[in-house]
Amino acid sequence: MNTLKKTLAEMQAEIRDCLDAVSDQAVEQAVEDILSAGKIVLAAAGRSGAALRAGAIRLRHLGLDAYFIGETSTPPLGPGDLLIVGSGSGRTQSVLAQAVKAQQAGTRLLLFTIHPASPLAESADTVVVIPASSPKAEGPAQAKTSIQPMASLFEQCLFLLM
């Protein structure tokens, strides 16, 4: 097997193993949260933001009232609405500030993260833990390794789950 195919096979195995470890119950709750929401706004920074921006488009294609935060067409959130956040660390400051503001307006919070014991996870209504490796990992997640750089595994799994 050539080097590229071997590397791709390893990456596929990492993604499969990571997604297999995601709680079915948490994903089912996330789906329920999404389907029962009025407006849906997705928020994340960096490459996680790219994954959730694509997720917002997918949700709109499914007929849901979904937006990515910061766009000129993004409406304000309130009771009955949902903010979906992606943060591997669970402590991204810009996203944390957006979550606090949304929750003050009565919005529910759905979080995708590596860290179930983080500031965002503590305030979220639903948490989907993606047990990926990351340089920011703490606790048991710190022991995980990946052939991929930085938090690529988290971002790929986030993209697939959305």
For residue 56, give the 3-state DSSP assignment.
Answer: helix
Annotated catalytic sites, by residue?
155
**Measuring CA to CA, how many Å separate 35 from each of 31, 60, 150?**
6, 12, 32
**Measuring CA to CA, how many Å separate 127 from each of 37, 68, 87, 108, 114?**
16, 19, 11, 11, 10
Please name the residue that has the structure tokens 């810009």: 94
Q: Which amino acid is at 31?
A: V
